[in-house]
Amino acid sequence: MPLSDAEFLSGEIFEECAVLTLSDLSRMFAVDEGHIVELVEEGVLTVIEIDTSEWRFSGAALRRARIALRLERDLGINVPGVALALELLEELEQLRRERKG
């Protein structure tokens, strides 16, 4: 299907321009806010602003939330298990980089 130039969509790098609220994350992944809170309590997600009326997250939280929710769903891991898996994955990534570096 040929598209004209006018139909080009301009994308933005979400992580670099976004500050996410608790309700943003809840809406984006269609999980309830309590579940996002659980991810924060287990250290999967980090809140960058606590003083405001609603928790705020950096754009980078999007990726962590996405991976965490996928691991939960696909592998049947509970939240503490997801937190551990994410930490180990990051460590593995770091080691791979050092080995190749």
Partner 1 sequence: MGVARDATEAQIKQAYRRLARKYHPDVSKEKDAEARFKDVGEAYEVLRSPEKRAAYDQLGSGPRPGEEFRPPPDWGRGFEFSGAGPGAGPGAGADQADYSDFFEALFGEAARGSAQHGRRGFDTGRGGDHHAKVLLDLDATLEGGSRTFTLRVPEIDAEGRVTTKERALNVQVPKGILPGQTIRLAGQGARPPGEGRAPGDLYIEVEFQPHPLYRIDGRDLYLDLPVAPWEAALGATVKSPTPTGPVDLKIPAGAHAGSKLRLKGRGIPSSPPGDFYVLLEIALPPADDNKAKAAYRAMADALPFNPRASLGV
| Count of residues of this chain found to bind partner 1 when the rule CB under 8 A is applied | 39
12 binds partner 1 (CB under 8 A): yes
Report, in Å, the least distance between residue 51 CB and partner 1: 25
Residue 71 contacts by C-beta under 8 Å, 6 or more apart in sequence? 77, 82, 85, 86
- What residues from 52 to 91 belong to the interface with partner 1 (CB under 8 A)? 59, 62-63, 66-67, 69-76, 85, 89
Q: Which residues of 50-71 are buried (b: 16+ CB within 10 A; e: fewer)?
A: eeeeebbbbebbbebbeebbeb
The yes or no reply on residue 101 touching partner 1 (CB under 8 A) is yes
Q: Is 32 in the site for partner 1 (CB under 8 A)?
A: yes
